[in-house]
Amino acid sequence: MSIYISPSGWRLKTANGIPYKLMEGYPKGSFEEQEARVEESYIIHSAHFWPFILESFPPTVGLIGPPPRRLPGSVAMFTRSISFEPLRSSLPADPFGQDGSAPAGTYDNFIKLNITYTSGKASDSERNEEDPITFLNVSADLSGSFHQAPMSGQSKWEKELGLFTKDEPVKEINLPVVVNQPQIEWTATLQRVDHSSFSSLLNKARGKLGKINQSVMPVLYNAYVNTVLFLGFSYSEEFSWRDGIVNGSGTATWKLLEIAIDQEGTPVTHNHVWNPEQGKFRVLLRPDGNKLYAETNLNTIFTP
């Protein structure tokens, strides 16, 4: 391989048109059932170093930053890290263009890049840069709560073979019973959120905290109406080498709680309360006629 080949003659180019030469012996890597790791080694002209870095780790534009550069030919493997060095160890490199007055031959004109790709979320068909919802990472965790649900009135003891021939009404007043209320704790995370979008997300979150969904939530796999309570919102600011070059970014996280109870074919909602007289959940109205939780469109909390 000759280092004196003009980059204009190299056949391989990145999506943004940066020419590169793939080193002998690459790519190489390993695959597991769910994860994969691939390494490539490129030669690029030193003038293309910074454009290549920014193409590999694109800046945040608008609300969401686009994903890192993909492994050529793959839709689900993205750049994880890049290391670099002068192609010739006998010369230094000036990839940042800090010594523009150096005599010719002072620096190596070519940079060797070692690129590592790892498996990531989604193919092109799953992510739409105009729709932040497609960038959400959603996870669910089991949960539940125990609460007192005293029984009386219309409740009955079920008949038992050989002991009782028919159901018997509960005679005790407020028979002590503990009911488990199954729940699902949802966490939705949005990474690479532009700092300039944070205030809009926060203001929208503040206005919907403590409210329940007035419509089905596709992002939570079509959770039923009134079964999801918006618990809270968090944001962590991230600082990186991009600071001072492009807008910074951070990670936004939403916490939601879903009630997962089916009562006689009807979902129990956050506005249901245990009625001991009937031994079932019923919607409770406050003295002012309103329900316990106000309804709102929670599908909009993930966008400014």
Low-confidence ranges of the chain (pLDDT < 70): 1-5, 60-65, 121-132, 134, 152-153, 161-164, 243-247
The model's pTM is 0.72
Domain 7-119 has CATH 3.30.70: yes
Where in the chain is CATH 3.30.70? 7-119
Cα 16–242–68 angle (5° rounding)? 45
**Per-residue pLDDT reduced to its tens digit, 131-173:** 667 678 899 999 888 877 777 667 777 787 666 678 877 777 7
Separation CA 199–CA 17 (nearest Å): 36
Cα 249 from chain centroid? 14
Closest by CA position to 192, among listed 127, 104, 146, 139: 127
**Per-residue pLDDT reduced to its tens digit, 211-249:** 999 999 999 999 999 999 999 999 888 777 776 666 677
